[in-house]
Amino acid sequence: MAVFIFALFVAFVLGLSFYFGRKAKSASGYFAAGGSIHWSVNGVSFAGDYLSAASFLGICGLIATKGYDGFLYSIGYLAGWIVALFVVAEPMKRLGKYTFTDALDAKFNSKGIQLAAAISTLIVSIFYLIPQMVGAGVLVTPLLHLPHAAGVIMVGLIVITIVATAGMTSTTYVQFLKGALLIVFSTVLVIAVCWRGLSTNPNPDAQSIERLSASGSNGALVISDPSYKVLSQKNVSAGKFVKVAHNGDNGGEISWWKSCENGSGIELRSTQWVTVKENGDRFINGAPASGTNGLRPVGNMEAINGKRGKEADTGSVGPFALLANIGNKDSVVNLWGKARFADGSDDVTIYHPIPTQGNKIMRPGLKFKVDGSPLQRLDFVSLMLALFFGTAALPHILIRYYTVPSPACARKSTIVAIAAIGFFYILTLFMGVGALVNGVINPADGNMSAPLLARSFGTILFAVISAIAFATVLGTVSGLIVAASGAVAHDLMDRFGGLKLSERKKVIAGKIAAFAVGVVAIILGIVFKGMNVSFLVGWAFAVAASANLPSIMMLLFWKKTTAKGIVASILVGIVAALGLILLSPSMYERYGLDPSSAPIPFSNPGIISIPLSFITLVVVSLLTQKDKKSEVAEAA
Amino acid sequence: MLHEPAGNVEKDHATPYKTVIGVRMFVVYALVYLGFVAINVFKPALMETTVLLGLNLAVVYGFGLIILALVLALIYNLMCVKREKQVNSQGREGEIS
């Protein structure tokens, strides 16, 4: 069913592309859909473009694994549209033609701006492309039972075909279709979650949590049930884990348990674990990994409003009651943590339950440590800053202002986008917590939480939601590739390189660039397998906000802005944001180094790189006022 | 004069007015957003307080920010459309009242 619906959708999308391909012969038709898209269609297409894998898969997955903290992305992503509407929309439409470089360069005709803005477009687009392609691979594995790389290649080839045939026109209609379907079926999913209500055992196939009582002194641990024997203990940053043999010492059934102190003594809680032997053999919960032996789904409520067991079941509830019940201080939700350590020559990864009070789930603090040190709080502020200022600086969003006929239409389409995207982001909280309490989460990868939640309601909803999730990736990747190909063909080749391409040649150059960027995206999607989708998009926002937004805002609101100031601001923004990211604790962890040894103590660069870019623009512009008259005169 | 025509966009006499109200509304929203960030940074426990329909401040403020964005956007559009009709039909520069 899933494969059929997916194939049907892809066939329809490709058919649409070939149909519009015949109409997209001019550069304006290819890069900006001829500026003829109706504002209402463009608004929903904005939603289709913007609601990427990070929104649907990443945010829902983050809420499903970390509670409210994932919803912070929804709030920040949506708030960014206010900057787009009130500050950027109409001026971008008035000043630009195909790319946002046009708008930045409108007053100056500066080679420096053309080069810097094109480089910035390419870097931001590629940063944004990586998580989309990774998301494609994540989706394909359960949907089509294909390996990660196959999914990435498939998406890459389909998108290259969409973009290379008809450019922005087909991309617009793919995004319109996908945006509309995503919102409709997400609403259906949320209604289904409320209709089911809450219970402490929503999925009999989910991992149940068993408990053993134990006592200990001087480091020795004794389990009350004599059929269990402690073999060894491991203390890691995530807590203490105990290796236990059941019914016989080393010859018995071996399992790993999490040791927790409670008021009356020590409690051991069952876990799931993956062991990789020295020869590469992989075992899950003690048995060889296979199609039938994998990690069991997790996520449930242990108590609802203080009630446990059958009496806790709520039956169908309204949307607000759903959130209120989960967020109640007497409710307990089992989140799942991860720990990894060496046990002799074995590499062991443990997934363990973390019972958490409902009132802690429904407020920030589990991922972003707002209760933590000043630096951790600064990291949170930095993220919220980048999300707020990033949207209006994303090249693939900005080019959509050129697909409508007038600045007023640009404004109206932004308002449609705010309505559609805002409504969807409200739904993400319900879908995320729905997955969190319905026993559907894959403990090793939260990205699939929303589609897996749909699967708990039957194959048809799963098939449709998965196909839409795949389309989500298609729509966003198409937009990114159009933006990147515009930067190469229009900004770099035609304007910076001075090739003065004819309309036809510009379209051909755009198609070749789309193919090249698509191939790069495929390679990166395979290389970055396993990276967190939402987190990477947060970085793309930070780079965009640092490199592009200061230039856009100062060009519009500060008359002393010079071309050299814009160039310096873009370059400083890129270098600062990228440099801070590469030296951050998150990247140190990825390099296999100790995160605490990272020279930059936080993972979100915006709070330094955005002001730095602004300051650079002001200082360089003030220092180059003498050049300004000649710059403007040359442009005239 | 621009070195390359952007699009075929007619002169909009309401632009100065729209720019000013856009900036004002941006500031209003930014302050409300800043309030959300500030509470989380300085008084995070406040976010647990139940404020409406059993929902805590974190959820109500979060939903509120999303809904406020749409409300401000609609008001902004109404004001823009009204001024566009008014000044563009008269063909003169929009004045800020």
In this complex, the residue of B10, B37, B69 whose CB is nearest that of residue A422 is B69
CB contact under 8 A, B9 and A106: no
| Cα-trace Rg, chain A | 26
Distance CA A483, CA A400 (A): 9
CB contact under 8 A, B7 and A109: no
Per residue in A484-522, pLDDT (tens digit) is 887 777 777 777 777 777 777 777 887 888 888 888 888
Please state the ipTM of this predicted complex: 0.85
Pick among A40, A42, A82, A549 to test the B interface (most B CBs inside 10 A): A82
CB contact under 8 A, B7 and A93: yes
**Is A228 found in the same domain as A286?**
yes
Tally of domains within chain A: 2
Label residues A391-412 b or e (16+ Cβ within 10 Å = b).
Answer: bbbbbbbbbbbbbbbbbbbbbb
Range of the structural domain that residue A345 is part of: 211-361
For the sheet containing A300-303, what is the strand order?
A: A287-288, A282-284, A272-276, A346-357, A332-343, A300-303
**Is A170 found in the same domain as A106?**
yes
**Is A25 found in the same domain as A74?**
yes
| Higher per-residue pLDDT: A609 or A163 | A609
Q: Is residue A267 part of a domain?
A: yes
Q: Is residue A108 part of a domain?
A: yes
Q: Is residue A368 part of a domain?
A: no
- Boundary residue ending a domain (A295, A330, A361): A361
pTM of the prediction?
A: 0.85
- Boundary residue ending a domain (A331, A361, A391): A361
Q: Which residues of B touch A386 (CB under 8 A)?
A: none
Nearest CA to A6 out of A352, A437, A470 is that of A470
User: Which amino acid would we find at residue A68?
Assistant: Y
Per residue in A558-584, pLDDT (tens digit) is 889 898 999 999 999 999 988 888 888
CB contact under 8 A, A79 and B29: yes
pLDDT in the model for residue A627: 67
- Boundary residue ending a domain (A361, A396, A425): A361
**Is A119 found in the same domain as A14?**
yes
Per residue in B1-35, pLDDT (tens digit) is 333 444 555 677 788 888 889 899 999 999 999 99
Calculate mean pLDDT across residues B68-89. Answer: 88
**Is A439 found in the same domain as A354?**
no
Here the CATH number for the domain that contains residue A25 is 1.20.1730.10
B29 has a chain A CB within 8 A of its CB: yes
> Directed axis angle between helix A319-327 and helix A148-196, to 10°?
100
**Is A153 found in the same domain as A79?**
yes
pLDDT in the model for residue B1: 30
**Structure confidence at residue A231 as a pLDDT band (50, 70, 90):** confident
Q: Is residue A206 part of a domain?
A: no
Nearest CA to A578 out of A609, A548, A602 is that of A609
**Is A631 found in the same domain as A565?**
yes
The length of chain A in residues reads 636
Nearest CA in chain B to A357: B48
User: In DSSP terms, which residues pair with A241 in a beta bridge?
Assistant: A234, A258
Contact A158, A178 (CB under 8 A): no
**Is A220 found in the same domain as A86?**
no
H or E element at residue A276: strand A272-276
Q: Is residue A422 part of a domain?
A: yes
| Higher per-residue pLDDT: B63 or A85 | B63
Q: Which residues of A touch B62 (CB under 8 A)?
A: 68, 71-72, 74-75, 429
Given the structure tokens 């990586």, which residue do they identify? A130
pLDDT in the model for residue A629: 62
Q: Cα torsion at A12, A18, A24, A27 (round to 10°)?
A: 90
Which DSSP string corresponds to A348-404?
Answer: EEEEEEEEEEHHHHTSS-SSS-TTS-HHHHHHHHHHHHHHHHHGGG-HHHHGGGGSS
Q: Is residue A205 part of a domain?
A: no
CA–CA min distance A238, chain B (Å): 24
pLDDT at A460 over 60: yes
**Is A445 found in the same domain as A519?**
yes
Pick among A37, A85, A425 to test the B interface (most B CBs inside 10 A): A85
Q: Is residue A370 part of a domain?
A: no
Q: Is residue A369 part of a domain?
A: no
Write out the two tokens for B20: 């000013």
**Is A382 found in the same domain as A347?**
no
